[in-house]
Amino acid sequence: MPTPSAISITPSTRSASIDVRDPQFYKNPLAAYAQLHAQCPSFFWEEQQQWYFAGYDQVNSLLRDRRFGRQILHVATREELGLPEPKPHLADFDRLEANSLLELEPPAHTRLRTLINRAFVSRQIEQLKPEIAALSHSLIDGFEKDGQVELLKAYAEIVPVTVIARMLGVPVEMAPKLLDWSHRMVKMYVFNPSLETEHDANAASAEFADYLKGIIDWKRQNPADDLLTHMITTEKDGERLSDDELISTAVLLLNAGHEATVHQLGNAVRTLLETGTSAKDVFSSDTATERTIEETMRYAAPLHIFQRYALSDIELEDGISLKKGDKIGLLLGAANVDPQKFTDPLAFRPDRNEGAHVSFGAGLHFCIGAPLARLELKLSLPILFERLPGLRMTGEAQIKDSYHFHGLEKLHLEW
Ligand code: HEM
């Protein structure tokens, strides 16, 4: 395999230069990961000025390592760490982040996670089966006769947002607005967002929070059998969630509840079609379907990077020294194709049974929505292939120019 020009590696200094905006890289990051695995799986990323880890064992253990956290300000001040003051034009965005489960560490994290966990355990999620299947069928009813469709807009984007909105008890008619707010907010999770992105994400955060505040007030008067009502009324050790916590958690669930799953639906359909995989075979039984879903998650993961702070000065086994407050990057997408863990890792093998990928993370922040995402994929993928025999791509898939969220802009299909 020729070295992609988007990456250059200097093994002697364990450093690498990668241009994330180079289509050669973001369209096929797996090729660059293969180079990293061969030459230096732990590397100092020149453009980002911090250490990154691509090896499966390292990523998996660093995600679980309690010497690292998603947060740092619970153990040190900004002054101590030389961090800049918060940006006033991001106040609304920061307010949501400040109470977000994803950004918290114990004990605050434990309390919030315990309060919502019950709704997301597999037993509870299984009950959504008929609803998700019916939704998938009704969407296909809408375009089946056309003989063609752009999958993202008509299917992949709609299933997850509808399911999570219904779960929370947010009106499904709001789906287009929810998608809009969410897309504008998650643009912040790329490297160096522009000032325009920051202003827009802040405006979206303010509108989103305002909308949810109204819904929460309404639900207080009109409790229903939904997750938002449960979050409003539930107590732990005599304590309830504050309004800010309720709003942040609802925003996180609504955003995380669809962004990655949308991409994963698109990535999975593309993978199956491009590799000429027989849907009949890979979806022939529950076990085969589950293995196939896991292999698409390994091979075409939707989220490639998560970061952690060193909570103290740390010497890693491979001689990398970190200072308290240093950030490290964990390349989930790369860990999934580590040849030390998976045989012939760049091959898509739906019957592969070599242990877990790390696409849902690991440790304390392991994706709470994993059972839900898996169920959505397990139902809506086979239904799509069953209903539209002869499904094929028309032209190339349009890949998103965004490294962190590896997904498709568009996937045109016909049958
Ligand atoms: C294919 C789809 C999905 C993927 C690949 C995915 C991936 C992830 C990953 C990697 C993390 C951990 C981040 C970290 O360690 O820093 C995470 C956390 C999280 N995910 Fe997902 N996710 C998916 C779907 C969902 C869904 C459907 C929900 C809906 C509820 C959801 C809600 C969350 C939440 C709330 C967290 C934060 C958990 C915590 O901090 O304790 N995700 N997800």
For residue 254, which of 184, 126, 167 has the smallest C-alpha distance?
167
> Other CB atoms closer than 10 Å to residue 393's CB: what's the count?
15
Task: Report the percent of the chain where pLDDT is more than 90.
Answer: 89
Task: Look at residue 190 in the predicted model and tell me its pLDDT.
Answer: 84
Task: Look at residue 3 in the predicted model and tell me its pLDDT.
Answer: 47
What's the chain's average pLDDT?
A: 94
| Spatial contact of 76 and 325, defined as CB atoms under 8 Å apart | yes
Q: Is 202 helix (H, G, I), strand (E, B) or coil?
A: helix
Round the CA-based radius of gyration of the chain to a whole number and report it: 21
- d(Cα 225, Cα 166) in Å, to the nearest integer? 10
Q: Say if ligand 1 is within 6 A of residue 100 CB.
A: no
Please write the tens of the pLDDT for every residue from 34-62: 999 999 999 999 999 999 999 999 999 99
Q: Is the dihedral of CA 72, 77, 83, 85 positive or negative?
A: positive
Give the atom of ligand 1 at the shortest distance from the alpha carbon of 109. 41
User: What single letter denotes the amino acid at residue 19?
Assistant: D
Task: Look at residue 2 in the predicted model and tell me its pLDDT.
Answer: 47
Give the Cα-Cα-Cα angle 385, 391, 396 (nearest 5 degrees): 125
C-alpha distances in Å from residue 230, one per residue of 99, 103, 115, 116, 125: 18, 22, 9, 8, 15
DSSP 141-177: HHHGGGSEEEHIIIIITHHHHHHHHHHHT--GGGHHH
Please write the tens of the pLDDT for every residue from 278-297: 999 999 999 999 999 999 99
Distance 263 CA to ligand 1 centre (A): 13
Please write the tens of the pLDDT for every residue from 316-369: 988 999 999 999 999 999 999 999 999 999 999 999 999 999 999 999 999 999
pLDDT at 4 over 50: no
Please write the tens of the pLDDT for every residue from 378-398: 999 999 999 999 999 999 999
Please write the tens of the pLDDT for every residue from 87-123: 999 999 999 999 999 999 998 899 899 989 988 998 8
Give the atom of ligand 1 at the shortest distance from the alpha carbon of 258. 27
Instruction: Compute the 3-state secondary structure of the chain and give helix, strand, coil in percent, each to the nearest 5.
Output: 55, 10, 35
pLDDT at 154 over 80: yes
Task: Look at residue 406 in the predicted model and tell me its pLDDT.
Answer: 94
| Spatial contact of 357 and 267, defined as CB atoms under 8 Å apart | no
Please write the tens of the pLDDT for every residue from 66-77: 999 999 999 999
Lowest-confidence region among 113-117, 145-149, 176-180, 259-263: 113-117
Task: Look at residue 207 in the predicted model and tell me its pLDDT.
Answer: 97
Task: Look at residue 118 in the predicted model and tell me its pLDDT.
Answer: 84
Q: Whose CA is nearest to atom 23 of ligand 1?
A: 260
- d(Cα 263, Cα 301) in Å, to the nearest integer? 9
For residue 405, which of 37, 90, 51, 26 has the smallest C-alpha distance?
26
Task: Report the percent of the chain where pLDDT is more than 70.
Answer: 98
Q: Say if ligand 1 is within 6 A of residue 369 CB.
A: yes
C-alpha distances in Å from residue 223, one per residue of 167, 220, 254: 14, 6, 19
Q: Say if ligand 1 is within 6 A of residue 372 CB.
A: yes
Greatest alpha-carbon pair distance for the chain in Å reads 65
Q: What phi and psi values does residue 358 have, to the nearest 5 degrees?
A: -115, 25
Q: Say if ligand 1 is within 6 A of residue 256 CB.
A: yes
Q: Which helix (H) or strand (E) holds 32?
A: helix 29-39
Give the atom of ligand 1 at the shortest distance from the alpha carbon of 362. 15
C-alpha distances in Å from residue 54, one per residue of 40, 79, 287: 9, 31, 29
| Spatial contact of 413 and 149, defined as CB atoms under 8 Å apart | yes
pLDDT at 30 over 90: yes
Distance 11 CA to ligand 1 centre (A): 33
> Other CB atoms closer than 10 Å to residue 132's CB: what's the count?
23
- d(Cα 208, Cα 250) in Å, to the nearest integer? 10
Lowest-confidence region among 11-15, 158-162, 230-234, 320-324: 230-234
| Spatial contact of 375 and 132, defined as CB atoms under 8 Å apart | yes
C-alpha distances in Å from residue 256, one per residue of 28, 177, 263, 366: 24, 15, 12, 13
Mutate to test the pocket of ligand 1, among 298, 367, 368, 408 (most ligand atoms within 8 A of CB): 367
Residue 191, both tokens: 């490297």
What's the predicted TM-score (pTM) here? Answer: 0.96
Task: Look at residue 5 in the predicted model and tell me its pLDDT.
Answer: 66
Instruction: Write down the residue that tokens 């000025």 correspond to.
Output: 49
Distance 368 CA to ligand 1 centre (A): 6
- d(Cα 54, Cα 33) in Å, to the nearest integer? 7
Please write the tens of the pLDDT for every residue from 123-133: 889 999 999 99
